[in-house]
Amino acid sequence: MTLRLRDINAFILFLFLLLLRTATSAQINVSPSQTAAILAQKLAGQGVTITNATLQCAAQANGLFDVTSSNLGLGSGIVLTTGRAATLGSSYGVNGYSSFLASNDNGVAGDPELDVLAGQTTTDACALEFDLLPNGDTIKFNYVFSSEEYLNAVCGPYNDAFAFFISGPGIAGSENMALVPGTNIPVTINSINNGIPGKTGTISNCTKMGPGSPFTSYYIDNSSGQTLTHQGFTSVLQAVHAVTPCNLYHLKIVIADAGDPLYDSGVFLEANSLQTDNYSIKAQTPNPAPAPNVCIKGCLPGHFQVKRTAANSQPQIIRFYTGGTAISGTDYSPIADSVTIPSNDSVADIVINGLPTPLLGAKVLTIFILPPYPCNGISNILDSASITIYDTIHISILTPDMDVCRNDTIQLQVDGDSILTYNWTPAIGLSNPGIKDPVVFPAVNTTYWVTASVPGSSCASKTASVNLSIKATPDIILIADTTVCFNTKFQLNASTAGESRYYSYKWVGPGSFTSSLINPVVDTATPKTGGTYTITVTDNTNGCKSDAGIHVIVNTPDTPTVTSPAFFCVNNPAIPLTATGQQLLWYDANGMNATTVAPSPPTYEINTYTYFVSQTINNCESPKAEIEADVTQCCDGIINIPTAFTPNGDGRNDKFEPLEDYGYTIKSMLIVNRWGQVVYSGTTGVWDGTYKGMPAEMGTYFYYMSFGCILGGTAERKGDVILIR
């Protein structure tokens, strides 16, 4: 095989781009190498029966596709190619960038019928054939043609061919269904393109395809596409052909390379789009309606609408049968077993009139439509829809007339269909006057009325009522929300209007507080006792209760800022304790004997003393802060520093370190040799006799040490030490 220059350049470009791009998930996913039966059944839709499927195609050239995201215009279906189907949506694990060259020579023969159509020898043919039995007078399916011959080969000699050849009764030989819409011109690269000849093309090669060619309105430029490797493709087209219902036809879907075996083309066919005239049924309810797809016996008819894809000059009878729980002649007036779609129209209505009956509950009526042309006496169901038939409007209130306590919560309950519109009056005290079962909070004797209706219909509304009488209920009078000081007592004050000798009381509040007194006292106010206190007053003569509550805020100032422990030197003069706060009060170790004078801990012996201090803000005293006063030995101890050490690893005197008495902590230590070089610097106060990880030389070294005193200040020591090995 001799490669042309454009083939070599394109292949080099493909390799270069393949190295630059990283692998990602394809947006057109292709599952190649399918069987003829799987491909044919994937294409089959309503009103056709497919048999005897065969496939003459390289295994890698066919497949099922599913679109995640693409401008292809189809969601899923089958694909036939002259190359490799898997590389249409993804090229070696990389998205289907149109800059990739996915060409492949499958090395298989062409197709004689396409040779005639293309006017030249074809190769790499892929053909799916099958018989089909239509239940209608027209078959159709949706497809997209794509090619790598776009853009360079437009209006040129390389005009890859494909066709949908149909043969059977009423057709002389075979006819190609893959035509430019409204013409007899076959769909090819030269008949549908951007109108700009490629490098090897002339516009005459396109215009000679037929009047109006090239048809640019059906072309989609994919030169910058990222989901399909072909440079261009058609918009979604429809193949249509008239047939005689219930007669067997043969369909051959074939594509092949013409003249050039490398640059590939493909045809995508939409899943389930091979079908006859499409008929459907849906349930409808005129607006306004209480609910979709309903019928109310005696007043609101139900409606079904049968529809065909498009209006036709001929009327069409559609047969159907009924199912469901609704009974003809009992729940609804008998209906015919067919409906006629008028000529030059696409819809017909089936009206369901419900018959008044005793209350039987909701019933379902389903209508199943059948194909207009049953083949071999077999009528498969095309579609179905259902409506619910409800009883004639009825209503009753299940809640009986009753005596209730004022402001008790009562759930009103109604027996009536959920599809009805409900309206309660008066609205006062109701949670929602427009629902079936509202909650009511009665304050006075009231008769509540409910009206059930179907707005916009001839259905007569129904009404019902319930009477609620109010029993005597305690009226509670409470003090307003209040603020109390921390660590004080406070009283909960309540009173009742009217006769109270038959009342009982129960308070509940924060911290598990309870009381049966009307005005109880809370002994100690703390943050935990702040919150809402609720009193329930019960009228013991009728059981009616009333609740009320107050919110108590406990004003708790922050504790003073203190330093604890506070250190004092033994035998030093006693000095007062200090704290930061307002109006300080000082307490002894028992929290007693408050004084405004800060205490001075005795310093005649080593000991620890405990004191407490609080502050007062806005006349409220804060919780007490504890201060420990430690009288201790201060920085007058002894620091022992060795004069020599022997870091020889015998476990004795191996390190140089000071021994501090109580009250000292080492802060830093610096050791230099006799030349002034620093051999150790740190805060641990321990030198192991090494310098830069190696044993230091024997000799005299000089140290500088700083110690911190426990009560503040520092102590310094300097001297020399001998390192002996």
Q: What is the pLDDT of residues 55-102, one digit of tens each?
A: 999 999 999 999 988 899 999 999 999 988 888 875 443 444 544 556
In a domain, 15, yes or no: yes
What residues are paired with 303 via a beta bridge? 284, 351
On whether both 585 and 446 belong to a single domain, the answer is no
In a domain, 558, yes or no: no
Span 200-224, pLDDT tens digits: 899 999 999 999 999 999 999 998 8
Span 239-252, pLDDT tens digits: 999 999 999 999 99
> Final residue of a domain: which of 442, 471, 500?
471
On whether both 385 and 400 belong to a single domain, the answer is no
On whether both 360 and 485 belong to a single domain, the answer is no
- What rounded mean pLDDT belongs to the chain? 88
In a domain, 163, yes or no: yes
On whether both 604 and 697 belong to a single domain, the answer is no
In a domain, 553, yes or no: no
Could you tell me how many helices (H) and strands (E) the chain has, helices first?
5, 55
Span 438-492, pLDDT tens digits: 999 988 999 999 999 988 788 899 999 999 999 988 999 998 899 999 999 999 9
Calculate mean pLDDT across residues 692-701. 93
Q: Are strands 566-569 and 625-632 parallel, antiparallel or unpaired?
A: parallel
On whether both 148 and 177 belong to a single domain, the answer is yes
Cis ω on the peptide bond leading into residue 214 (within 30° of 0)? yes
Q: Is the pLDDT of residue 270 over 90?
A: yes
Angle ∠(659,662,667) on CA atoms, nearest 5: 60
Q: Is the pLDDT of residue 602 over 70?
A: yes
pLDDT at 345 (0 to 100): 94
Task: State whether residue 268 is helix, strand or coil.
Answer: strand
On whether both 467 and 479 belong to a single domain, the answer is no
Backbone angles phi, psi at 64, to 5 degrees: -100, 145
In a domain, 305, yes or no: yes
653: left (phi over 0), alpha (psi -120 to 50) or beta: left
Calculate mean pLDDT across residues 178-194. 94
Residue numbers of the domain that contains 133: 5-270
Q: Tell me the C-alpha distance between 680 and 670, whole Å.
A: 6
Q: How many CA atoms lie within 13 A of 704 on its CB side?
A: 7
Q: Is the pLDDT of residue 262 over 90?
A: no
In a domain, 559, yes or no: no
CATH code of 490's domain: 2.60.40.10
Q: Is the pLDDT of residue 628 over 90?
A: yes
On whether both 386 and 401 belong to a single domain, the answer is no
pLDDT at 102 (0 to 100): 63
How far from each other are the two terminal CA atoms of the chain, in whole angstroms?
Answer: 90
> Final residue of a domain: which of 456, 471, 486?
471
On whether both 450 and 484 belong to a single domain, the answer is no
Q: Are strands 644-645 and 714-723 parallel, antiparallel or unpaired?
A: parallel
On whether both 291 and 379 belong to a single domain, the answer is yes
On whether both 651 and 673 belong to a single domain, the answer is yes
In a domain, 141, yes or no: yes
On whether both 206 and 121 belong to a single domain, the answer is yes
Q: Which of 553, 560, 549 is nearest to 526 (CA)?
A: 553
pLDDT at 7 (0 to 100): 46
Calculate mean pLDDT across residues 562-574. 83
pLDDT category of residue 289 using cuts at 50, 70 and 90? low
Q: Which residues contact 327 (CB under 8 A, 6 or more apart)?
A: 363
CATH code of 623's domain: 2.60.40
pLDDT at 274 (0 to 100): 95
Number of domains making up the chain: 6
In a domain, 372, yes or no: yes
pLDDT at 200 (0 to 100): 83
On whether both 244 and 151 belong to a single domain, the answer is yes
Among 8-22, 298-312, 341-355, 486-500, the minimum mean pLDDT is found in 8-22
> Final residue of a domain: which of 330, 361, 390?
390
pLDDT at 14 (0 to 100): 44
Residue with more model confidence, 407 or 185: 185
Q: Which of 224, 221, 229 is nearest to 93 (CA)?
A: 229
